[in-house]
Homo-oligomer: A and B are copies of this chain.
Amino acid sequence: MEIITSSIITIGDELLIGQVVDTNSAWMAQELNQVGISVSRRVAVGDDWQAIWNAIDQEMAGSHIVLVTGGLGPTADDITKPLLNEYFGGKLVLNQKVLEHVRYLFDKVYKRPMIPRNEKQAEVPDTCTVIHNANGTAPGMWFEKNGRILVSMPGVPFEMKGMMKDSVIPELVGRYKLPLILHRTMLTAGIGESFLADRISAFENALPSHVKLAYLPHYGMVRLRLSATGFNREELIMQMDSLFETLQEQLADVVATSRDEPMEAAVARLLLERNATLATAESCTGGYIAHLITSRAGSSQYFNGSVISYANAVKTDLLGVPEATLQSDGAVSEATVTQMVKGALASFKSDYAIATSGIMGPGGGSEEKPVGTVWIAAGNKNGVRAMRFQFRFDRMRNIELASFNALNFLRKFMLDQSFHPKN
């Protein structure tokens, strides 16, 4: 059976001068893969007629489906619509339904008067099928030519996402007989990519040809992904289950989570299982751990809050770190993070707490405590464990690494029997 392939084209000068990071493509690729449509290329071009035209021509020749985002706004740099109109040989006509929707948005949602520029958004090529944009004024457009499909959507992420979920994906699924693509992902911590590869090389070499293994280094950890393609769901699931189990067994000592989830989700599951609460006392991570945790829906069930103690006085005033400790050991020390955990447990009346204190750079380092030095502690009422980490990157990456490692440190602490005596 034929594999259905797609290309994603993103349009906008801002992508080529690097002013924005393209997050749309990754999201679209995920959605397409989930329904068995393989993505073979992603292309970004500027707001330039010839460049867009060539990209469309090229991708239409190579893929069954071409998804295009961007260039549909009401401003002069947006040229996708007239270009598609010409490419598919139609003429622009006012679409009454779209016009009503635009009017509704201005009337009821934006509560602003409409200007002629907005009305023009209701014009669409007569060669396309209009796709409803529930979240914005620019309609999506579905074209077909020589058995190939091109769908044009706005570049605004939540508008594009709504259209993909509500219209484009269901329509594509109905159109083709699609193969199953299954992915299984685990996150390992504490082992380098090449060592991992060596440990599982026999496993990797024995994989059947329709199953692929990928190594995705991520914040000093490595995600491993098994991907399988096929048409028999039950068979494929059974085979993947078995392969994944083998892999888990071989790597039991280094697997942080064997689901396709971020570290904070693994921690959330542990907390929910125990009906326990967490607080964080963050110095160098500056709230990033709390942000990772609270980005998840339902986090108020297990997260009490955080003190971000950027100034030393805050460590004393709000977390009860004795001034003597700060004087003798310094803010970046085992003694300080241990006290911070105890302070957070008390202030937030939580079951568990994490604390971080370190030097993220670029300034502030010394010979004894160079930039990247971070003390991390985790604890509960039975005790606190602390560890020194050394990162060696730029500020933002150091913050991210410290946060992910702190969550992993808590996870290990929660699984450590010695801090969880049977009552």
- Which residues on A are within 8 Å of B, measured CB to CB? 13-23, 25-31, 33, 38-47, 51, 55, 58, 73-77, 109-110, 112, 115, 117-118, 156, 158, 181, 183, 185, 192-195, 197-198, 204, 212-218, 223, 225, 227, 277, 280, 282, 286-291, 293-295, 297-300, 303-311, 313-314, 317-318, 347-349, 361-363, 392-397, 399
Contacts and interface: CB of A to CB of B under 8 A. Distances in A.
A85 B92 CA distance: 50
Contacts of A280: 308
A76 B21 contact: no
A420 to B, nearest CB: 23
Given A198-B117, A399-B295, A42 B26 contact: no
A307 B318 CA distance: 9
B227 A17 contact: yes
Given A21-B23, A309-B305, A15 B43 contact: no
Contacts of A290: 286-287, 290, 308
Nearest to A310: B305
Contact of A22 (B14, B26, B306): B26
A30 B45 contact: no
Q: Is the interface of A mostly helix, strand, loop or mixed?
A: mixed
Nearest to A315: B305
A42 B27 contact: no
A294 B305 contact: no
Given A43-B42, A214-B77, A314-B304, A19 B286 contact: no
Contact of A304 (B27, B74, B75, B310): B310
Nearest to A46: B40
A216 B307 contact: no
A115 B198 contact: yes
Contacts of A361: 297
Contacts of A15: 25-26, 29, 42
A394 B16 CA distance: 27
Contacts of A227: 13, 17
A280 B309 CA distance: 11
B304 A306 contact: no
Contacts of A47: 214
B158 A394 contact: yes
Q: Which of A45, A183, A300 has the most CB of B within 10 A?
A: A300
Q: Which of A74, A118, A192, A214 has the most CB of B within 10 A?
A: A214
Contact of A395 (B45, B289, B293, B297): B297
Contacts of A181: 17
B310 A299 contact: yes
A181 B16 CA distance: 13
B55 A215 contact: no
> Which 4 A-B pairs give the minimum distances between C-beta atoms?
A286-B294, A287-B287, A287-B290, A18-B29
Contacts of A307: 305-308, 318
Contacts of A363: 297-298
Contacts of A109: 392
Given A286-B293, A305-B311, A311-B304, A118 B43 contact: no
